[in-house]
Chains A and B, each alone.
Chain A
Amino acid sequence: MEFWLPVIWSVVIAIAVIMYVVLDGFDLGIGILFPFAEHDQDRDIMMNSVAPIWDGNETWLVLGGGGLMAVFPVAYATILPALYLPIIVMLLALVFRGVAFEFRFKAAPRNRWWWNLAFAGGSTLAAFAQGVTLGAFIQGFQIQDNQFVGGPFDWLSAFALLTGFGLVAGYALLGATWLIMKTEGALQDWTYERTVPLMSVVLLFVLAVSAWTPFLENTIHQRWFSWPNIALLSPVPIVTALVLFQLWRAVNLRREIQPFVLSIALFLLCYLGLGISLYPTVVPHTVTVWEAASETSSLIFMLVGVAILLPIILAYTAYTYWVFRGKVQPGEGYH
């Protein structure tokens, strides 16, 4: 129990985080692509393609954050102060992004650009701040006695900026492939055209981050390049390469659903790579899942809830996606 509970919980939290990254990732990606759309009517469709579901998608962020506090309080209480500024900036960016869904359709046409800006700027900044957070997280923090003891700008590094821009590109790819699936006609053509260069950019970022990460910490290097790990883990980069190749083909063959599925697969593989690099630490390189875990009775009490409620949540989430299935029509919405 003492061993397995934190392990099970790290899997649950990991699922919550990747659910957030993938689901809100394509929402935020729509926002990142927003300024490049050619007509305001296209922007309407782009926004309406996610308007009914973004709120549910963003809730995974609350589960990730709230869950981290509940399950690994030491991690929550050290990582958040360490990332104080990027986290608050991300939250405020999400404020702008979130209200833009409502305000943009209620604004007078001549004031609408303001909420276009809030939506695009909020989405892009939130994605960037999340990427910076990720990079700083991988690099690790100065910790003493379960407390953060570093400075307010420790997170700022070349690597964190790289992951910041990388995540913006990655989310844009998710958003573009979502749009391919949800639109038709001229907007879909436009999206296909934009997806091709976007894939190259994402490829470059995946390569750069993957090449850099092992040199950040010796433990990560050991994890990947010591024998027999190098053989056992080699499928991860190989499958990633295959997914990227198939994504390339699918976009060029103008498949509608495959690109989105493959983009998600790409995110899952990168995430898996990250997990392999960092396990079993939850504050990278310093605090393990067992050291950070909350009280056993709290973990059990919540696990009961998760076991019952998470399948129900997934079921009704799937139902709402099903209700809004198919291509988005111009003028759809309740406004």
Chain B
Amino acid sequence: MDLDPLLLSRIQFAFTVSFHIIFPSFTIGLAAWLAVVEGLWLYTGRRVYYELARFWTKIFAVSFAMGVVSGIVMSYEFGTNWSQFSNIAAPVIGPLLAYEVLTAFFLEASFLGIMLFGWNRVPRGVHFATTCIVAVGTTVSAFWILSANSWMQTPAGFAIENGRFVPTDWFELIFNPSFPYRFMHMVTAAFLSTGLVVGGVGAWYLLRRRNLPHGRIMVAMAVGLLAVLAPAQLIIGDMHGLNTMEHQPRKVAAMEGHWETKTGAPLILFAVPDQEAQTNHFEIGIPNLGSLILTHEWNGEVHGLDQWAPEDQPNVPIVFYSFRVMVGIGLAMIALGLTGAFLGLRRRLFESRWFLTVQALMTPLGFVAVLAGWFVTEVGRQPYIVYGLMRTSEAVSPVPGGSVLATLILFVVVYGIIFGAGMFYMFRLAKKGPEADQGEPAHGTPARPLSAAGDAAAPAE
């Protein structure tokens, strides 16, 4: 059997990065939310906020741990599987990753300890500051890694010398053309995904008539967030799309399913793209709307995939379907947010069981949208690893296919176990809820006398 190290390395990287991205998406949003809730506790003195903070911190810890361990894998996979890329792009990518470690990873990892274990060891204000620092750290981390990713999509501020990418202007390089849009789009996506989880768990509590004060706060805050950010995300996404059309037109052509360059292009709602025949089957579209959205003109010209040879095109079906999944979920979030806001204004939010049921069912959809969005942008960049400049096939390590297959199987098995266990524990924590949790010590271990976990007292000053 002929094992292709390139294909296997791509599958392995796609698998490990898809697994990884779920957790930072959640921790970026959750850390910010925890900072808000803890701040509300300090400001209002209401115990329900303290209980919410303690409760969600536990779920945060599980997610964070999975994000950390799967993230370390990524930082080494650049070398183990993509050594040619590392060697050629290191002068550009290396410093961005180094700055991520120096400005974000250490910050998050060090203060996480105090955030989780320091409730009784530092004053309340210091603990709150710690939570804020962790929240800032997660976002700063996103800043650098998205800058690096964006550079691979829309390279800028560099020259090619002796076969290497060499930085010429750090500002242009870091703030490369797609970075501001990608950063906004991703951070907003993280907030929305977290909002769906927090709101979904809250809705579930209200449906089960448990943890009512906590559930109401969770549902109300999530609805407020979705009502504002979900429509905002539509606008940010549109801007990101226009930016992509300017710099990576073939990605947009694949997203839209446009094979032919034409004016007054339709907006294709559904189709079965056929890469071999370079055409769509069963196409359903709205005339001219594609041009209107992409060019903001009724008869604007839209580039089709016919501008590029088939071997220079990305995999159209993956990009096309993923894009529709992402947009579909985005629209559902807008509907959820606006409906919830409407019900809230009419004071019926907590009683509308059908709404709460929908909200509970939508809990995991943010992560599906995040993954679909990353499929769009990463598969859409192919066949290049650095868009237009370096092909993915030129990037792979000189490692035999058998080795990569072996590690790919290991990754699938290990991540399967970890993911299953992590989900199980998070579910169980959510099921127990903030109220059930406050009274009892952890399994088998007596509560530390100082912590007074069972009493009404909040942590010591």
Contacts and interface: CB of A to CB of B under 8 A. Distances in A.
B164 A295 contact: yes
Contacts of A58: 68, 72, 109
A206 B235 CA distance: 63
Interface residues on B, range: 35 or more
B90 A294 contact: yes
A95 B95 contact: no
A57 B66 CA distance: 16
Contact of B402 (A92, A152, A332): A152
Interface residues of A, number: 78
Interface in A64-88: 65-71, 73-74, 76-81, 84-85, 87-88
Contacts of A101: 65
B422 A99 contact: yes
Interface stretch (B116-124, B256-264, B296-304): B116-124
Given A99-B421, A102-B65, A106-B429, A329 B448 contact: yes
Given A84-B397, A85-B403, A67 B58 contact: no
A105 interface: yes
Interface stretch (B73-81, B177-185, B207-215, B281-289): B73-81
A44 interface: yes
Interface stretch (A237-245, A248-256, A275-283, A313-321): A313-321
B436 interface: no
Interface string B93-135: 1110111111101110111111011110110000000000000
A258 interface: no
Nearest to A71: B94
B406 interface: yes
B411 A92 contact: yes
B95 A301 contact: yes
Contacts of B70: 95
B446 A105 contact: no
B86 A77 contact: yes
Interface string B371-395: 0000000000000000000000000
A153 to B, nearest CB: 9
5 closest A-B pairs by CB: A70-B94, A80-B79, A73-B90, A52-B113, A77-B87
Interface of A: 40-41, 44, 51-53, 55-56, 58-59, 61-63, 65-71, 73-74, 76-81, 84-85, 87-89, 91-92, 94-96, 98-99, 101-103, 105-109, 112, 146-149, 151-152, 294-295, 297-298, 301-302, 305-306, 309-310, 313, 316-317, 320, 323-324, 329-335
13 contacts: A61-B72, A66-B97, A73-B86, A85-B403, A109-B443, A152-B399, A302-B94, A305-B102, A316-B110, A317-B106, A320-B111, A323-B114, A334-B117
